Amino acid sequence: MLQLLRVRVSLAVAGGSLFGALYFGGPDIWRGVVTALGAGILCAACSALNQVQEREFDARMERTKDRPIVSGRVSVQAGFSLLLVLFLMGLTLFALVGGWPLLLLGFAVPVIYNGVYTPLKRVTPMALLAGALSGALPPLTGWVGAGGSLLDPSILAVTTIFYLWQVPHFWLLHEKHREDYERAGFATLESRLPHRMYRPMLALWVSAYFLGLGCLVYVSGPGAVSWFLPSAIVLMGGVALFAVARNYRRGAAVAVYASLPLVLVVMLTNTL
């Protein structure tokens, strides 16, 4: 059952939401904690719905053929009933804590992830540009839940960085499991784009991500702009670009995945 809820991903989403609440720094931290809980529950619901939607495709892939619904350990009806309960729980928590603005954000997540990204990724690899929107929302939910404005430039900058981070994350995942995805009938960049375009596009996006990360550090205040963090960002960005150019997937993954948590921790340290 835990596999149906994708607990690690749900915890990561809850952590992103909690970051948004802590970054706002309001007096009622419990609101941020409740929002983070709601975000994790909504993520679990979206994951369960995704496995209901893609059960036929999951059965064709090595990495997903043992998922609960595909293997028959959980029936489609039971999975659907559970995800409905989870959706109601998550949206109720959002409504109680943040009212309409947070509730609308909560509705946006399944609409984007399950309604747009999930069916579209069988058509075009550019579906990840839509799917990344849902992955960029967790810090914004925490910020709004803690009492912050939905349109505050500070949290919109963080949300933008999360969006930029999502795309190389999806790309690296697709490349790691490319044969599995193609066997299941999903559109991959390698199969749909000319090879001469694929690497430059990925390198361009990774460059935009690290440039945005550097800008975020700069505007976060003097505590974050020490000599160490900018140097670390430049170093990791260089490693990531070199790894993309040489097709060293593991090197690119380490640089991309490590950079965002590092910056977020420093930003929180500078804020608290």
CA-wise closest residue to 260 among 168, 124, 134: 168
Q: Which two tokens stand for residue 155?
A: 């949290």
Per-residue pLDDT band at 32 (split at 50, 70, 90) = very high
Altogether, the residues listed in the chain come to a count of 272
What local confidence, expressed as pLDDT, does residue 25 receive?
Answer: 82
Convert the pLDDT of each residue in 79-127 to its tens digit: 999 999 999 999 999 999 999 999 999 999 999 999 999 999 888 878 8
pLDDT at 5 over 70: yes
pLDDT at 31 over 80: yes
Q: At what angle do helices 29-53 and 76-110 cross, to 10 degrees?
A: 130
pLDDT at 53 over 90: yes
Which contacts of 245-249 are long-range, i.e. CB under 8 A and separated by 24 or more positions? 245/199, 245/203, 247/199, 249/172, 249/175, 249/176
Arithmetic mean of pLDDT over the chain = 87
Structural domains in the chain, sorted by start: 2-151 (1.10.357.140)
Helical spans, DSSP H, in 111-177: 118-120, 127-136, 138-145, 153-176
Contact 263, 216 (CB under 8 A): yes
> How large a percentage of the chain has pLDDT more than 70?
94
| Other beta carbons less than 10 A from residue 94's beta carbon | 28
What local confidence, expressed as pLDDT, does residue 205 receive?
Answer: 87
